[in-house]
């Protein structure tokens, strides 16, 4: 559980973890030099439950570097991030562990927030199936680290997250799915909080970064999708971007229109 | 050691007949030669009194034993004050009837206290044990992000004011100084923290490196702990607020920050005293957010609703 100035929410998040039916866990709380009372709240819980360990960085190192640092202290077989403003359902951890244990070769599992028609979970997807699922079915690669569980081995093999803000999780799922199969777990095991202090990213700034990542993996040597699928995806992105661009223009929402235009031009160039 | 000073170990007991013998034996196993034990039974409903009486009858050692049987249940804080009132030792500690002190604790701590002047309290590290006595945590101070080899000592009031890092079973206190600052406060939930603050305000504190006591953990049911944290947050806030008027600038700022964040936390947790703290917060931290929170709470609007409004406004602006 990485945290930066989450004093408002971290107590609830910690309690959701402590309420897990699966009790064989260690909760590592990494405070990235908060200026509010996040650290002391974490400490007061650690006093009462010896599964909790609290660490604080000497200086703020940023979200993904902090996640990697937290992972370096982890000693379990599985690694699961629960963000300090999210909650895990009481049976969430048990469900995730059981899902992963069913597929020993898998490297990670996603419990997405997309509501699917009743389906048999968990399901194992190889690289090709995982990419196909994201690009042609439900975009599960937009899951946040809070909705994912790793095997420690797979996480270490990936050498953790990249350092880029915002997009490093999206990049990670693409990368890890190339080498390991993915488990599609029951959706909705996490309660992702929407709150006013989220790094409600100016998504517009990162739009091109997302598209660049897509292109790297889709068109790269190891791409699990064939040329026809890739060009279908590119065409789809290009056309959707243009349509939305026009729509936003029409609604006079210029600020939202511009990133769409950028995406459209991106797929013209590439 | 010539003429070792008397040390009082007070054991408050309530229904721990199955643990208290182990506790008593850990006291009589001390290498220190001059100990007085005061056991206070707070109207236990199990066979504690019988068990304790039998142990006392069979005890042949040098320690002086006193057994106080209360007629009405006074609660832990009252019992701690009873112990303080009755203590004849120059130093004393209260020891829970299920915890254990290691054999050289008193000897090592008395030695350090006698060498120091103006020192009211000495503390150490602890290990946590389970119901069977197995060590389940050997990194207590480390887990709460402290360095067990480099703990605060000397003038620790400010550091202690930030967070209570003193493990209760590891403590040995100067009796006279504890009485001088008024003993344990019976109006508070977290009574030991307030005593440590009062002591560290006027006197020095020493740290003895190493583990001197074992704290027995009991499985906390979830239904308890979710209320516990707002309750202890409220207690700690109460303690800190008492210092607000006469505190120096740095402490005042710590209190301001604590009240600012904790009042929001109590509001969010729907805790009963949230209103009181939001009002105090408005007076101490005047500003837009404080005013909004105070007013909303007064009008009965839940905190989650405010969040929704804020999210709505943010997306409207962008």
pLDDT at position B190 over 80: no
Q: What is the ipTM of this complex?
A: 0.83
To the nearest whole angstrom, how far is the Cα of A18 from the nearest Cα of chain B? Answer: 8
Contact B313, B306 (CB under 8 A): no
Query: pLDDT exceeding 90 applies to what percent of chain B?
Result: 75
Between A136-150, B242-256, B302-316, the lowest mean confidence (pLDDT) is in B302-316
Beta-strand runs (E) in chain B? 7-13, 35-41, 64-69, 91-94, 100-101, 119-129, 135-137, 172-174, 204-216
The whole-number pLDDT of residue A200 equals: 55
Cβ contact B229–A45 (<8 Å): yes
Residue in B136, B145, B265 nearest the CB of A50: B136
Q: How confident is the model at residue B254 (pLDDT cuts 50, 70, 90)?
A: confident
Query: Length of chain A, please?
Result: 270
Dihedral sign, Cα of residue B192, residue B195, residue B196, residue B197: positive
User: Averaged over A219-240, what is the pLDDT?
Assistant: 92
Name the nearest CA neighbour of B175 among B114, B121, B254: B121
Token pair, residue A5, equals 């100035």
SS (H, E, C) B158-170: HHHHHCCCCCHHH
Distance CA A196, CA A192 (A): 13
pTM reported for the whole predicted model: 0.87
Contact A7 B265 (CB under 8 A): yes
Interface probe with B: pick from A8, A9, A16, A33, most Cβ of B within 10 Å: A8
Query: Each residue of B41-88: pLDDT tens digit?
Result: 999 999 999 999 999 999 999 999 999 999 999 989 999 999 999 999
Which percentage of chain B shows pLDDT scores above 70? 95
Q: What's the count of helices (H) and strands (E) in chain B, helices before strands?
A: 13, 9
Contact yes or no for B307 and A11 at CB 8 A: no
* CA diameter of chain B: 80
Residues of A in Cβ contact (< 8 Å) with B137 = 50
Q: pLDDT tens digits, residue range A70-100? A: 999 999 999 999 999 999 999 999 999 999 9
The CA distance from A152 to the nearest CA of chain B, in Å, is 22
Question: Which whole number is the average pLDDT over B176-200?
Answer: 91
Axis-axis angle for helices B249-268, B303-317 (nearest 10): 100
Instruction: Look at residue A118 in the predicted model and tell me its pLDDT.
Output: 62
Q: Please give the Cα distance from B30 to B32 (Å, whole number).
A: 5
pLDDT at A215 over 60: yes
Predicted local distance difference test score (pLDDT) of residue A117: 64
Record: contact A196-B232, CB cut-off 8 A: no
DSSP conformation letters of B177-206: HHHHTTSS-TT-SSHHHHHHHHHHHHSEEE
pLDDT at A202 over 80: no
CB distance B145–A43 less than 8 Å? yes
Residue B292 has pLDDT above 80, yes or no: yes
Angle at A19 between CA A15 and CA A20, to 5 degrees: 125
**Residue in B closest to A56 by C-alpha:** B145
**Between chains, do B311 and A195 touch, taking CB under 8 Å as contact?**
yes
CA distance B226 to A251: 48
Whether B222 shows a pLDDT value over 70: the answer reads no
Compute, in degrees rounded to 10, the torsion defined by CA atoms A108, A114, A115, A116.
-60
Cα torsion for B155, B156, B158, B164, to the nearest 10°? -160
Are the Cβ atoms of B143 and A15 closer than 8 angstroms? Answer: no
Q: Which of A135-139, B148-152, B173-177, B201-205 has the lowest mean pLDDT?
A: A135-139
Q: Which two tokens stand for residue B300?
A: 């009965």
């Amino acid at each position: 559980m990485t945290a930066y100035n989450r004093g408002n929410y971290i107590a609830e998040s910690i309690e959701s973890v402590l309420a897990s039916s699966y009790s064989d866990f260690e909760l590592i709380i990494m405070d990235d030099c908060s200026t509010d009372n996040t650290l002391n709240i974490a400490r007061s819980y650690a006093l009462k439950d010896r599964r909790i360990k609290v660490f604080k960085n000497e200086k703020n190192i940023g979200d993904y570097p902090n996640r990697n640092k937290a992972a370096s202290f982890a000693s379990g077989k599985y690694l699961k991030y629960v963000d300090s403003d999210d909650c895990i359902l009481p049976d969430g951890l048990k469900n995730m562990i059981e899902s992963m244990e069913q597929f020993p070769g898998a490297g990670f599992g996603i419990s997405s927030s997309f509501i699917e028609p009743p389906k048999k979970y968990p399901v194992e997807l190889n690289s090709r199936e995982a990419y196909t699922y994201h690009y042609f079915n439900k975009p599960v690669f937009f899951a946040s680290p809070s909705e994912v569980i790793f095997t420690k081995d797979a996480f270490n093999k990936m050498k953790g997250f990249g350092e880029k803000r915002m997009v490093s999780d999206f990049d990670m799922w693409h990368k890890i799915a190339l080498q390991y199969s993915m488990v599609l777990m029951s959706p909705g095991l996490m309660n992702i909080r929407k709150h006013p202090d989220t790094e409600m990213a100016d998504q517009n700034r990162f739009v091109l970064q997302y598209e660049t990542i897509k292109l790297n993996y889709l068109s790269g040597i190891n791409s699990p999708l064939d040329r026809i699928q890739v060009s279908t995806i590119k065409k789809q992105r290009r056309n959707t971007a243009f349509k939305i661009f026009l729509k936003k223009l029409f609604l006079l929402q210029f600020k939202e229109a511009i990133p769409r235009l950028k995406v459209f031009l991106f797929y013209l160039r590439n | 050691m010539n003429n070792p000073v008397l040390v009082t170990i007070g054991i408050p007991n309530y229904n721990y007949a199955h643990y208290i013998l182990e506790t008593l034996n850990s006291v009589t196993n001390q290498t220190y030669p001059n100990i007085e034990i005061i056991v206070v039974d707070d109207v236990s409903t199990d066979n504690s009194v019988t068990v304790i009486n039998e142990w006392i009858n069979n005890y042949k050692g040098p320690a002086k034993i006193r057994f106080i049987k209360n007629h009405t249940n006074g609660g832990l804080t009252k019992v701690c004050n009873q112990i303080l009132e009755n203590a004849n030792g120059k130093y004393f500690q209260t020891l829970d009837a299920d915890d254990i002190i290691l054999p050289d604790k008193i000897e090592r701590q008395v030695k350090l206290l006698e060498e120091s002047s103006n020192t009211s309290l000495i503390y150490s590290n602890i290990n946590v044990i389970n119901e069977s006595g197995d060590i389940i945590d050997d990194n207590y101070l480390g887990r709460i992000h402290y360095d067990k080899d480099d703990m605060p000592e000397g003038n620790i009031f400010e550091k202690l004011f930030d967070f209570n890092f003193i493990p209760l079973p590891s403590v040995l206190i100067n009796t006279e100084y504890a009485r001088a600052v008024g003993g344990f406060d019976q109006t508070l939930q977290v009574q030991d923290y307030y005593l440590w603050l009062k002591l560290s305000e006027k006197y020095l504190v020493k740290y003895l490196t190493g583990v001197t006591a074992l704290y027995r953990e009991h499985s906390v049911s979830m239904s308890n702990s979710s209320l516990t944290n707002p309750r202890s947050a409220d207690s700690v806030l109460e303690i800190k607020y008492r210092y607000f008027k006469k505190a120096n600038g740095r402490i005042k700022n710590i209190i301001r920050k604590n009240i600012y964040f904790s009042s929001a936390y109590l509001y969010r947790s729907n805790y009963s005293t949230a209103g009181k703290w939001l009002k105090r917060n408005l007076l101490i931290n005047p500003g837009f957010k404080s005013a909004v929170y105070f007013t909303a709470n007064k009008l009965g609007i839940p905190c989650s609703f405010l969040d929704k409004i804020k999210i709505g406004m943010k997306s409207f602006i962008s």
